[in-house]
Structure 1
Amino acid sequence: MTWTLPNILTVLRLIAAPGVAIMFLYFARPLADWFALVLFVVAAVTDFFDGYLARAWKQESKIGAMLDPIADKAMVVIALMVITGFSGMDPWFLLPATVIMFREVFVSGLREYLGDTAGLLKVTNLAKWKTTAQMFAIAILFSTGALRYHAIKAPAFETYASASWWIGVVLLWIAAALTFVTGMDYFRKAMPYLK
């Protein structure tokens, strides 16, 4: 692997994915929530820059193209698992989170099965919007956890926490809808090769 800046950013994002969960092992809340939020947002921003820089500097690579979606999926799946834990299995959150996680695993399986022909499952513009919606929703939901803990000392924060929770959940449902649509599109494209 060539250690270009885009590849380094992708690898750092891949390493940051479990770091989001680890924050809750080593720090008490709300500090863990804030650290997880900052780590998640910084990693999400690198998702834009690694691809942009790779194209702009003509440093696109097979390893980068392979690691980038893995890093995205790891960030999203681990973050959703953490939020599921502190949301108390809220069904408004759990259903779209399940759709997102199922699709991510399913599409990864399709790509694995298709091997050399997986190029037909290239990332579409709608899939990029899907990832953006997922990242925004998760970031807002992480901020909810932090705000809820501040509400213990300042009840006014509960209003903000409640509002951010519902904004995050609505965004998550939008992300789940985009996730479902892109998953079905990839499945449709893969159908002729599934024998």
Structure 2
Amino acid sequence: MTLTLPNILTIIRLIAAPMVAVMFLYFTRPYADWFALLLFVSAAITDWFDGYLARAWKQETKLGAMLDPIADKAMVVVALMVIVAFSSWSPWLVLPATVILFREVFVSGLREFLGDTAGTLKVTILAKWKTTFQMVAIAVLFSQGVFEHYLGMSAYGMDQAMVNAIFAGEEPDLLGLRWKLAAMEWAGVGGLVLLWLAAGLTLVTGVDYFRKALPHLKESNE
């Protein structure tokens, strides 16, 4: 096992994956949302850096090739689990999340079944775009939670009539309720759009991997 800097970054990202969920166990919101968002974005940045450094320094190893997709999948799966758990279980969120989770499990199962021939399922450019869309979508959805709870904190103690008057422009918006609501809504819609795009790419790449694996599956049944 070779512990190069790229491999160390990958291992840190792998360890960070469950910490996204732990944030919501030990911190109240919106602090948990903030910590999870910063942790997830930092991990996503290291995903680019470890691959870049491994190629630039010619330090590509079997350990890194094995751990990198595992770390990516762990980050995405844990983050989606947290987002869905703290959401209203809207089908607009649950459906793309389900597609993504199913595909990740399915492709992982294919790789395990193929064993030594799993090299036929090499990561494609489209698969890398899929991962990028997933991570950006999840980061945006985490930011929605931040805006939502700051909005609630700002409106705390106000009655509904006062809140309605502020949104209608009849009362001064001293605490920024209007921009916090707009940011929450834009983050929510933008995050869902990105998540659906990610789910579409996830489905396409999953079908592509299955198509590539199909000849080997047929051979194993003869």
TM interval, short-chain normalised: over 0.9
Gaps of at least 5 residues in structure 2 are 155-174
Q: Which amino acid aligns with 2:35?
A: F
Quote how far apart the aligned CAs of 1:136 are: 0.3
Quote how far apart the aligned CAs of 1:3 are: 1.2
Quote how far apart the aligned CAs of 1:87 are: 1.1
Quote how far apart the aligned CAs of 1:79 are: 0.2
Tell me the TM-score normalised to structure 1 length. Answer: 0.99
Number of residue equivalences: 195
Tell me the TM-score normalised to structure 2 length. Answer: 0.87
Q: Which residue of 2 aligns with 1:130?
A: 130
Q: Which residue of 1 aligns with 2:93?
A: 93
Quote how far apart the aligned CAs of 1:158 are: 1.7
C-alpha separation in 2, matches of 1:170 and 1:102: 19
4+ residue segments displaced more than 2 Å: none
1:50-71 residue CA offsets vs partner (Å, 9 max, x unmatched): 1111111111111110000000
Q: Which amino acid aligns with 1:67?
A: L
Q: Which amino acid aligns with 1:123?
A: V
Q: Which residue of 1 aligns with 2:203?
A: 180
Q: Which residue of 2 aligns with 1:67?
A: 67
Contact 1:6 1:49 (8 Å CA) reproduced? yes
Deviates more, 1:27-36 or 1:87-96: 87-96
Q: Which amino acid aligns with 1:40?
A: F
Q: Which residue of 1 aligns with 2:172?
A: none
Name the larger-Rg structure: 2
Quote how far apart the aligned CAs of 1:2 are: 1.3
1:31-55 residue CA offsets vs partner (Å, 9 max, x unmatched): 0000000000000000011111111
Q: Which residue of 1 aligns with 2:183?
A: 160
Q: Which residue of 2 aligns with 1:109?
A: 109
Contact 1:138 1:168 (8 Å CA) reproduced? yes
Quote how far apart the aligned CAs of 1:90 are: 1.2
Quote how far apart the aligned CAs of 1:7 are: 0.2
Q: Which amino acid aligns with 1:116?
A: D
SS of equivalent to 1:110: helix
Q: Which amino acid aligns with 2:100?
A: I
Q: Which residue of 2 aligns with 1:45?
A: 45
C-alpha separation in 2, matches of 1:5 and 1:166: 37
Q: Which residue of 2 aligns with 1:10?
A: 10
Q: Which amino acid aligns with 2:213?
A: A
Identity, % of aligned positions:
70
C-alpha RMSD of the superposition: 0.7
SS of equivalent to 2:100: helix
Q: Which residue of 1 aligns with 2:158?
A: none
C-alpha separation in 2, matches of 1:144 and 1:17: 20
SS of equivalent to 2:86: helix
Contact 1:86 1:145 (8 Å CA) reproduced? no
Quote how far apart the aligned CAs of 1:159 are: 1.8
Quote how far apart the aligned CAs of 1:13 are: 0.2
C-alpha separation in 1, matches of 2:32 and 2:87: 15
SS of equivalent to 1:151: helix
Q: Which amino acid aligns with 2:146?
A: A
